[in-house]
Structure 1
């Protein structure tokens, strides 16, 4: 009587959601030497990594085994906003803003069988990135 291996499926499901707001408001003065101004660096960053390995070895069938499934979702519904009002003098406003999303999926499946390999050693990766938030900067500088 031949013993069948137990099917092996390796799932990875990752979800990241950002719904908060990232905001800054600045008002500059005249500063030393008349060089007043504002500087803002803002960012919303999301990163996901999935590493999967599967190995199946059998003298018989390895049907429905050693399958890697990776599902990654990133959603950002928050806002990234900067408002700046500069002072007098040579200074101005500087704003660096970004919304970054990154996903990586590394999958490896190896199967060796003396019999059937049907529905085995499959790698499936589904990745989704959604950004419904706003990325805005408003700047005002006045020279006297």
Structure 2
């Protein structure tokens, strides 16, 4: 592999990482603009990232029957003479599912941080309070 190809591959990998982390970048931007304390920014961005990818997964799972219809039903319809219906199912599954998943993730990237920003300081403080280390005086020091 020559140096030119290596540079292209490295730039493509960096671009892919930036695109994949888009929900986290959006969440950090919203955290910066809102009144979220700086110490809670990372947990806010990570939670928003996970929730955005959860919405993408949910959209993909909800559209799974369309993918199954593409594999099993569309060829049967086309061979039975219903070309328009079979082609419509095939095209909806081929092009519609990725578009819906992408748009649901993009929408969740904005909606989730905007909904969580007002309550995040209380949520983070509650989580930190329950996970704080409190030594047991009966057991002695660890």
Larger radius of gyration: 1
> TM-score when scaled to structure 1?
0.25
- TM (norm. structure 2) is 0.25
